[in-house]
Structures are given as structure tokens and as C-alpha cells.
Amino acid sequence: MKKILGIVVISLLLSGNVYSKTIVVKANPEKGFHFPYLLKNSKKTVDANYMVVESNNTGSGNSIKGMTSKAKKSLNWVLGASISKKLKYPMLMPVFPFGTSALMQNKYYFPQLDSDVLKIDKDKYRRIDLQLIAMIDDAREKLLKENNQNINEKVIMVGFSSSSLFSARFTFLHPDRVSVAIGGGIGGLLPVPADKINGIEAIYPIGTYDFENITGTKFNLEEYKKTPQFYYQGTKDKSNPFRRGAEDLTDEEYKIVKKLFVDGLPFGDKPVSLKVSTVMWNNSQKYINQIVDNVRFESPKGLGHEITPKMIRKSTKFIKENLK
């Protein structure tokens, strides 16, 4: 009897893990990506025609192998995993570096797709946003070949904390490849779809003033307007990566943020206060709402820097309501 019961328990555990089938796809420079990615799929997702994408946000590592291991573990708790499970959609997570022996300078902040990262001119690290598109197309090809799944070329971009900035900035760069974007614990500062804000030149990732110089293409405002986006930051969320000398902002970008986003409050080289972060968040909303009406914002009362079932439900609902 005990033996039979044990077999039943093991079977139940295995059946519960059907969703958690994850493969590691190796880097394929010939196809346009120099880093591996994770693809999570199962029998529960065979009818899906969309894919959830969230960039890895697992801290630093000594090797891509180590980063891949961390990324796989993160699929147990990241926002994208919860949403893709609810929607029964496959999920892709690239394994981009946090830093490497060749690029250890703080100015390269891969997890947030900052301006310095986009300007790297070394083959392996060049334009990781385009490398992600190559990964997406490779995954779509695999799912079509192996499961006869016709996955839309426009993905659902998801992120929380640093990966929420990646989600927002990737959507800003490539709105034509995003169906819906979600970002939680955003940190207060979002890209504004404008060359200038209050007469001040807004360079990437603040705005679009130097967009063509960085990307080689013009900013696609019309496509951006068609892309539903939902970003939230709790009223008790103290996480904010922006300040002078931090890895995300250059000195020039820092000065622009100081002029436009903090309303004269203290904003130097120390971590910002909750008050400054809130003002920054409110100004991001104001500037964006002056230009477009497709971006929804929410400031959940009492919420800190955390992923909650309530916000998972709200994010999932927003996606369902806005899929094209």
C-alpha cells in the first residue's frame, strides 16, 4: 500500500511539473545571437499563439554558464513565469551578462538596456536588443517545427525591477515587435516618446532626441501609440537605481533627469528617497500622458518592491484585454 501511495505521489508531482519543461538554447552567432536563451514550454502551452519574454535579472556571475543556472532558477519566481503560466503561453528568457571580464565598468548595465549598452561596438555585445529579436525568431521557428505552433512575431514583454526597465526600453526601441508590455517596480523613470521635454533635449533612455544616431532608425511613434503598456510602482517602493555615478545614467543623462524629473528635490550620488522616487514616477506619467494615451499607470497603495498575486492578476487581465 505504501509503495502504491508513493508511486501516486511521484506521479502527481511529475504531472504538476509538466509546465516546467525548460530547454537551454545555445548561442548561435550565425542566427544573430551570441548568448544562450531559455525556452519554457509544455503540453499546456501547445495551443498558444503568443510568447512571453522577460530579460534575465539575476545579478552578476563569473560565467555565462553560471548566469544560465541562475536564470533557470529565477523561472520559479519571476513575474513573467507567473503570467505565462496563467495564460498558458511559452516563455523566453535571454541570458545576457551583467558584466564580463572585458566589460566590468559600471557604465555597462545590461539588465536595464541603458544607452552605454546600446553603443557597444564589440560583436559579441553589440545591440543586445537585436540579439533578443533574433532569439525570439529562433524560438518561434523551433516551436513551429517541433509543435506546429504559429507564434506571433509580436511578443508580450514583461519585467519587474531591472527587467521592467528592460521591458519598457525594448518596447520603446521596437514597438513593432511587442503586442503588450508590462513592468512592475519600475523605479520611477520611463522613456518619454519625445525629442524634447520642456524645451530640453531628451536623449535615450529619457527620450528620443538621439534615437536615430544610436539605432540607425527613426523612432516609430505611430507603432508606439498602438502598443498597450501597463507599468506600476507601489507607494512604498523604495527601489530606484537612478542617481549620479550609478550604472544606469551617464553624467549627461543624470543632469537631464535632475532638471526635468525631481522638481528641485535632493538628487545626487546617494540613493534617492521615497519622496524623490515618487516625484520622478509622477513626472514620467505626466510627460508620457501629454503625448500618448496607450500607457496605463498604477500606484498600488502600500505596495513595496515585491511581486504580489494581486498585481499578477491585474497584469494578466491587462494582457488578455489588449492582445491584438
Q: Where are the domains of the chain?
A: 25-322
Distance CA 10, CA 14 (A): 6
What is this structure's pTM? 0.91
Report the distance separating Cα 79 and Cα 20, nearest Å. Answer: 15
pLDDT at 198: 97
What local confidence, expressed as pLDDT, does residue 107 receive?
61
Protein fold of 25-322: Rossmann fold (3.40.50)
- Looking at the DSSP bridge assignments, the partners of residue 91 are 40, 52
SS3 content of the chain, % helix, strand, coil (to 5): 45, 15, 45
| Per-residue confidence in pLDDT tens, the chain, 324 aa | 333 333 333 333 333 444 458 999 999 999 999 999 999 998 888 889 999 999 998 776 668 888 899 999 999 899 999 999 999 999 999 999 875 445 445 567 788 899 999 999 988 999 999 999 999 999 999 999 988 999 999 999 999 999 999 999 999 999 999 999 999 999 999 999 999 999 999 999 999 999 999 999 999 999 999 999 999 999 999 998 898 888 788 999 999 999 999 999 999 999 999 999 999 999 999 999 999 999 999 999 999 999 999 999 999 999 999 996
CA–CA–CA angle 275, 59, 115 (5° rounding): 65
